[in-house]
Chain A
Amino acid sequence: MTAWEIFCQGRYLANRTKKLWFLLWLMNALLAAVAALPVFGVLNAELKNSLMAASLADRFSLDFAGEFAFKYWDSLPSALILIAALGMVYVVLTLLTTGGTLAVFSCTERRFTAPVFFKGCGTYFWRFFRLLIVAAIFYGIFVVALNGVLSSLVNKLTRPWTQQRLVLLVSWTRLLVVAFVFIVVNMVFDYAKVRLVIDEGRSAVMAALRSIKFVFRNFKKTLAVFVFCMLLGLLFIVIYNPLEHVLPQHTRRWIIVVFVLQQLFILARTYVRLTFFSSEVLLYESLRPSHAPAQEAPAAVPTTFEAGSSPSSPSASWTPPPGEAPAIDPTI
């Protein structure tokens, strides 16, 4: 089965989990709304009776933005703390929902059902939490440290150079290398999560190490699936940005239209994330060495899954109902 076919099936699976989309969007929107509320309060106090509101409804005002920044500069740390706190809550919620999401994609039905989802959330939370710590170390070493080392090397190398063009080309190359390493680390930990769910592993470190092996053994395919998903995300950005730019935003109706568009974009991003997971689950299932049984002790929870929906017994030869999805390679 080609990476493209995996990606297409992944999209199909993500399409089938609209309740999950909604749940993840709701989680995102509610948390963002908490951050937006104080901003609403401050803007309302500043603008509701000012003529400046009329011009700000039409277009961005550098005058107001500068004044606003100047006036509320002292509040910036509090705002950043609030956003950081929300970010942490979001991380916790994401750890929870990722377990549920992967459980949904790896169960026999591969459909969203509340019991499968919430059971998955609970089952994998602490494993994913441990994996997050391992991932932080990997990101620290392979992305942050690598970036630091490469930066200092580039600075040293280009110090006597008198042409900015050459220096920029080297700097861009450094950026590309770091971005590529970031993608690889990201892939490794995505597959580590998939592995923890499908193989019912418990050790985050083992999952990460085996995931590295898996990713590098199947580098072309894992990278291709990642790139397809990423391009899907870029496609949404390319569609959204010009649209948002050309739409008038000065009347109540258009402000609502743009708000809806923004939320559709967030839903699209949620869909892309789900496509990442579903494609990665499918790819992992298809490439797992001889469907080898899990080497670690299975978790106790899967036994409580509903019949036919155990995440520990994914059907590698699962195909969508006839007519619902692209043809699937029977060799899976």
Chain B
Amino acid sequence: MKKTLLMILSVWVGLLSAISLAPAALSQQVVQYQIAARLDPQAKAVVGSETLTWLNPSSDEVRELQFHLYLNAFKNEKSTFMRESGGQLRGDQAEEGKWGYIDVQSIKLDSGYDLKPSMKFLHPDDDNADDQTVMVATLPEPVRPNGTITLKIDFYSKLPRVFARTGYFGNFYMVGQWFPKIGVYESSGMRYATRGQWNCHQFHATSEFYADYGAYHVDLTVPSNYVVGATGVEQGNHPNKDGTTTHTFVQEDVHDFAWTADPTYIRMERLFDASRLTTAAEISDVARLVGRSPEDVSLQNVRMILLIHPEHAAQADRHFRALEYGLKYFGLWYGRYPYPTITVVDPAYKAGGAAGMEYPTLFTAGTGWLPSSPPSGLEEVVIHEFGHQYWYGMVGSNEFEESWLDEGFNTYSTSQVIDTAYGPSSLSIPFMGIPFSWFISSIKYFEDTVNRLETLGSTRRDYIVRNAWEYYDQTSYGVNSYPRTAATLRTLQHLVGDQTFARIMRTYFERWRFKHPTSNDFRAIVNEVAGRDMKWFFDQLVYSSNILDYAVDKVSSERPKLSLGLFDDPSGKRKEVTEDDRKKQEKEAADSKKRNDSLFESEVIVRRLGGVVVPVDVRVVFENGEQFDTTFDGQYRWTRYKFLKPTKIRYAEVDPEHRLLVDVNLANNSRTLETHHRAVVKWTSKFMFWIQNLLMSLMALV
């Protein structure tokens, strides 16, 4: 009896300790996917079977389930994706006859109830009856609040020739958005939902994705000579009798699963050793900056996996170094990377459509045989796509509806990492695959400059926040979602201060990781951390297409002139001031100038040329070194400053600290009293020289 009691006690203690040792889930695990998939290299297809357990996170009874069938975007030219993209995305062309699609062959409840008869396609965004990227299945009984439902789905995914993120080229496979994926059920009050509803958009040319967090357990069966990489941790693999191998990957707290296979990959693995790559001083500095303890800021080790093609093997170090910078700075600034692995995929040459894409714990980079010197596109794409582990992966904003929250935030963060880690980049324009920067010293620039310049032409068409498929065009989507957001966040940083902004970003990440925030949630955190209402900023720079442009319109410094005419003195005597009196006075003033005690009437006019009203610093510098600083509130279109001083103005400048990165014209931000022709002559003569050379080359042809 005693023995039995002891046994029961020890089992109980063991169970309790097992429960306490198991890592707590980081997210509300709404979905549990168990997928078995087999790659058919001949058919360029994946045959799969998934068991999906879905938790109804709301207090509603849910009577239907909606699914994304993303691959159907590549089924024909009538899909919404193809209509919007014209069969062309990110420089890649869809190839005729190499379509992709996904067939749901069977969909049943675990009770065996067949949902297929109720299956139909929805097109909530554009009423395109030909689009098959969203599917709905009606349930025989509703899923109760906080209840679960388990489905078994068999599917056949025919991969397209790599075009938009996913597909094959030769033996290279990048398999993303490949399985029937349930949408997000938003209960009333969640994000913008006013009542319980499915958020399950069609696949658009300019949209990315949105899904619930959960756990994935995926068995991938591929020919044994293929090297495989996937979301999550590989738990093991076992060869099969038919010459294939089954690889098992598992990962919790992610909202998607992607994988890649190619027999020519070289697999490399290195450890991100947090103790080696971050110093105590760095941790302490960042801790102070973001207002957290050093323990909160410190990082953890991560296994870095690189799947690289032999042609690029010499660039492995550059990939790893860039990834280390990403893990380090994103981790220090926003919060540590919580997953044990991160996999970088180097897409095959001519599979550029698969390059530069993020998936949870796995992303694709992209390089060429002859890359420019670092930091180049290689480093930028590695750091940017890694950054999406934060702004998309962990902070799960809705990319369909608020692309700025992932792409823009990530462009901002990427820029900060590149500038911090590498310094200025070099402009590199390759010719026939050879980067010019190898031969000539190239123009250096910081990322802020590029983000600002790319923004210049964009603001007149759209607000930053908009449904991804409703921007004026693809360019406007790109510019507003990426660089304009980055430049706007940088401007916000300058306005609230570096430390406050660092705390805003940290707080936003910490509060919203593994959740689905909106723009309003970010704005609330800005107000909370900054301690002031920044609505005016968001109204004008995020929810507006106005431009910001302040200018110094006029600068003058003149000696006061004697007024001509008849003047009565206090005694009642009338005196006439003539031209001779004025000349005499001017002569005296000229003499006093030599003595340096002549007074000048100076005037500065500052104008607001754009529609955005932001308080702007104004600085007036005088020839004697004196400086006058003030702020123009910008409420009216212009303001005038007058001075009476024994010195002339040297120059006047608005925004002297260059805080307003989104100002569209920096040349008019200052005005000097004296004219400067050196730059004009220098660049005109250069232009003339270029034309002369052009004409000389023409001479050789005639």
A-side interface residues toward B, CB under 8 Å? 28-29, 31-33, 35-36, 39-40, 43-44, 46-54, 56-57, 60, 62-64, 66-68, 70-71, 73, 83, 86-87, 90-91, 94-95, 98, 128, 132, 135, 139, 160-165, 167-168, 171-172, 175, 186, 245, 249-252, 255, 258-259, 262, 265-266, 269-270, 273
Q: How far is the CA of A181 from the CA of B670 in the complex (A)?
A: 53
Q: Are B682 and A35 in contact (CB under 8 A)?
A: no
B329 adjacent to chain A (CB < 8 Å): no
Tell me, in angstroms, the Cα distance from A49 to B677 when the chains sit together: 9
- For chain B, residues 665 to 697, give those with C-beta under 8 angstroms from any C-beta of chain A: 665-673, 675-689, 691-696
**Interfacial chain A residues near B691, Cβ < 8 Å:** 31-32, 35-36, 83, 86
**Contact A62 to B449, CB < 8 A, known contacts A70-B457, A95-B702, A252-B678:** yes
B342-355 interface code vs A (CB 8 A; 1 in, 0 out): 00000011100000
In the A-B complex, the 7 residue pairs with the closest CB atoms: A66-B453, A51-B670, A36-B688, A56-B679, A32-B691, A57-B679, A53-B679
Interface positions of B (Cβ within 8 A of A): 169-170, 172, 264, 311, 348-350, 368-370, 427, 432-433, 441, 443, 445, 449-450, 452-453, 456-457, 555, 651, 653, 664-673, 675-689, 691-696, 698-702
CA distance A44 to B266 in the complex (A): 57
Residues of A contacting B682 with CB < 8 Å?
56-57, 249, 255, 258
Q: Say whether A57 contacts B670, CB under 8 Å.
A: no
The answer to whether B679 touches A62, judged by C-beta atoms less than 8 angstroms apart, is no
Which A residues touch B678, using CB under 8 A?
A: 53, 57, 250-252, 255
| A57 and B349 contacting across the interface, CB-CB below 8 Å | no
Report yes or no: A273 in contact with B676, Cβ–Cβ below 8 A.
no
CB–CB B698/A54 < 8 A: no
Closest chain B CB from A254 CB (angstroms): 9
B695 partner residues in chain A, CB cutoff 8 A: 28, 31-32, 86-87, 90
Q: Which residues in A have their C-beta under 8 angstroms from that of B667? A: 46-47, 50, 52, 64, 67-68
On whether the beta carbons of A162 and B432 are closer than 8 Å, the reply is no
Contact at B676–A164, with CB atoms within 8 Å?
Answer: no
A63, B443: Cβ atoms under 8 Å? no
Residue of B nearest to A88 (CB): B698
Q: Is the CB of A175 within 8 A of B665?
A: no
Assess whether B432 is in contact with A175, with CB atoms less than 8 Å apart. Answer: yes
Q: In whole Å, how far is A23's beta carbon from the nearest beta carbon of chain B?
A: 13
* Contact in complex: A36, B701 (CB < 8 Å): no
From A47, A83, A249, A258, contact of B680 by CB (8 A): A47
Select which of B311, B671, B702 is within 8 A of A50 by beta carbon: B671
In the complex, are the beta carbons of B681 and A255 less than 8 A apart? Answer: yes
- Beyond the given A262-B686, A265-B689, A273-B700, please list 10 additional residue pairs across the A-B interface where CB-CB is below 8 A: A28-B695, A31-B695, A49-B672, A62-B453, A67-B664, A90-B699, A164-B433, A168-B433, A255-B678, A266-B693
Nearest A-chain residue to B666, judged by Cβ: A63
Closest approach, in angstroms, between the C-beta of B227 and any C-beta of chain A?
15
A44, A70, A265: the one contacting B677 at CB < 8 Å is A44
Which residue on chain B has the smallest CB distance to residue A52?
B667
Task: Give Cα A287–Cα B680 distance, bound, in whole angstroms.
Answer: 52
A–B complex contacts, Cβ < 8 Å, 17 sampled: A28-B699, A29-B692, A32-B688, A40-B681, A47-B667, A49-B676, A70-B457, A87-B694, A90-B699, A91-B698, A91-B702, A94-B698, A162-B264, A164-B349, A167-B349, A259-B685, A262-B685
Q: B653 and A51: CB pair below 8 A?
A: yes
